[in-house]
Amino acid sequence: MLITDNGVLFATYLCAVLLHEYAHHLLALRFGLVMDEIRLEPSGAVLYGELSGLSPVQEIAVALIGPLFNLAVALLCLALWWVAPSFYPYTDLIMLSNLTLGLFNLLPVYPLDGGRVLLHLLCFRISNRRAFAVLRRLSAVISLAFFAAYLYSAFHTINYTLAIASVTVAFSLLEEGSEISSRKAFAVKGMFFGSPVIPVKCLAVKESATLYQLLGYLNADNCYEITVYCEKTGGIIAKLSHKDVEALFEQYPLSSTVGKSVEQLHNSVICALQQKPPKR
């Protein structure tokens, strides 16, 4: 959100921000979810709601729809100028606000929409923890780039918007990413605040199933006990508690198979126990 003395420009950006968030809301609603509220914050507007019912692909779609809507409005204005140039004085601010808002939200910075998309894409290939590490590095580079551009503008026409963008991106480094699928689906910490009793569900999973496939059977309303079976022998490979399942989604990419992830988790636990010094 730009801070400006121009009331018309401020109102135009405010409308673009609200329509951006409403686009998120409409697509989430189409997927069967209801978002709670829109809050106006110093950096813009934020749509709040529970996304635990969405698959990673659906979350990517919900994240993209907002900036894509803004860019579509900007392109519509450009097309209108080509057909009827006389409309330019009445639509230039609409085009500017939607273009800048759409592009800014596509930056690979969490929790901006572009960061959410990149986070979910990375989680298909690398662990949750490493994905956030990549995003933090990108956020630091982008924040420094905005600040450098702000310093450069001081020698010409100073642009305070660049400084605001730098600070906004810098604050994103403090985000914990609590909405990523693994923590969202297995919110053990504080899960009993909503209800005194949480159902426990037992699932049987083939070792060849991927974590992404397993995620489709999980939600935030239950605890889970999962039995992993060997497809060749039909024997039990492992029995996982809810904490074990949390660890799988925290440490391994969604493209990993359950069997391989369980084996690696088991080996890491053994190594940790062997390295632990004995008690005296």
pLDDT tens, residue by residue, 29-55: 888 776 666 666 555 566 666 555 567
In a domain, 208, yes or no: yes
Does residue 195 have a pLDDT over 80? no
The answer for residues whose C-beta is within 8 angstroms of residue 33's C-beta and 6 or more apart is 49, 50, 51, 53, 54
Last residue of a domain, one of 185, 210, 235: 185
Does residue 1 have a pLDDT over 50? no
118 and 177 part of one domain = yes
Query: Residue 52: what pLDDT?
Result: 55
Backbone phi, psi, residue 173, to 5°: -65, -20
In a domain, 246, yes or no: yes
82 and 28 part of one domain = yes
Mean pLDDT on 67-89: 88
Q: What share of the chain is helix, strand, coil (3-state, %, to 5)?
A: 60, 10, 30
Would the pTM count as exceeding 0.75? no
In a domain, 9, yes or no: yes
Nearest Cα residue to 201 out of 190, 210, 214, 183 = 214
In a domain, 223, yes or no: yes
57 and 152 part of one domain = no
Whole domain around residue 228: which residue ranges? 190-275
Alpha-carbon gap, residue 42 to 6, rounded angstroms: 17
Q: Which helix (H) or strand (E) holds 224?
A: strand 223-229
Question: What would the two tokens of residue 213 be?
Answer: 């496939």
| CB of 115 closer than 8 Å to CB of 108 | yes
Number of folded domains that form the chain:
3
Q: List, for residues 145-167, the tens digit of each pLDDT value.
A: 999 998 988 888 888 888 888 88
| Cα dihedral 102/104/110/115 (nearest 10) | 60
In a domain, 280, yes or no: no
In sequence order, the β-bridge partners of residue 204 are 227
Query: Residue 148: what pLDDT?
Result: 92
Query: Residue 275: what pLDDT?
Result: 59
Alpha-carbon gap, residue 15 to 21, rounded angstroms: 10
Could you tell me the sign of the dihedral formed by the alpha carbons of 9, 15, 19, 22, in that order? Answer: positive
200 and 254 part of one domain = yes
Mean pLDDT on 67-84: 91
